[in-house]
Structure 1
Amino acid sequence: MKISIELSLYPLAEEQYKTEIWAFIKRLRAVEGLQVVTNGMSTQVFGDYDLAVNHVMAAIKHVHQNTGAAVFVCKFINGDRSQVEAES
C-alpha cells in the first residue's frame, strides 16, 4: 500500500530555523524508496506506507529530541498522490 504525506515544520527557535528544516528534509531524502518533494510551504513524501510512516515519524522524533520546540503540521493521504500533484 502507498501513502502520500505532506509536512510543514515550524521550529520555534529564533536562530538557525532554516538549518533545522533542511536537516529534516535531508534525513528523509536519504531514505531509499521514498520520493521527497519540497516547495516553499511544505515537504511531500511519497512511498510505501510502512517505509514512509516509519521514517517520517523517526525524523519528527529526531527533531523533537534535538531542538528546543518545534511544531509539525501533517497530512497523511492514502495512495500515491505524486502523479496527481505533478499534473496540477
Structure 2
Amino acid sequence: MMLSVEISNYPLNEEYIEPIKDFINRLLANDKLRVSCNTMSTQIFGEHDEVMQVLSAEMKDSFERFGKMIFVCKFINSDLDPALKPHDD
C-alpha cells in the first residue's frame, strides 16, 4: 500500500533550524522515499511499511540528538505525489 505523509517539525528550543534541516536531510538521503519540501512542511511518499519504518527511526534520532520537539503529521493511504501525475482519488 502506498502512503503519503505531510509532516512538520517544531523543535522546542531557540536553535530550531539545525534540527529541522538535519531531519529533512536524513529523509532526503533515503532512496526508498520521495521527499518534497516547502516552507510549511515536508511531504513523504512511498510504500507504507518503508515510510513508517523510516519516520520512526528518524523521529527517534531527532528526539535523542536535539531534545524536545513536536512532529505534526497527516497520513493518507494513497500516493498523492504531485510530481508523478494528476490524481483522481
Q: What is the TM-score of this pair, normalised by structure 1?
A: 0.90
Gaps of 5+ in 2: none
For these two proteins, the number of residue pairs brought into alignment is 87
* Cα distance, 1:66 vs structure 2: 1.1
C-alpha offsets along residues 23-74 of structure 1, whole Å, 9 cap, x if unaligned?
Answer: 1001111111210000000000001111111101111111111112100100
Q: Distance in 1 between matches of 2:84 and 2:9?
A: 20
Which secondary structure state, in structure 1, belongs to the residue aligned with residue 54 of structure 2? helix
Structure 2 residue identity aligned to 1:47: G
Structure 1 residue identity aligned to 2:4: S
* Cα distance, 1:76 vs structure 2: 1.1
Q: What is the TM-score of this pair, normalised by structure 2?
A: 0.89
CA RMSD between the two structures: 2.0
Superposed structure 1 runs of 4+ greater than 6 Å apart? none
C-alpha offsets along residues 1-34 of structure 1, whole Å, 9 cap, x if unaligned?
Answer: 100011000001112x111101100111111121
Give the structure with the higher percent helix. 1
Gaps of 5+ in 1: none
Instruction: Name the CA shift for 1:69/1:85 in 2 (closer, same or farther; >3 Å).
Output: farther
Over the matched positions of the two proteins, sequence identity in percent amounts to 43
Residue aligning to 1:11? 11
* Cα distance, 1:84 vs structure 2: 8.2
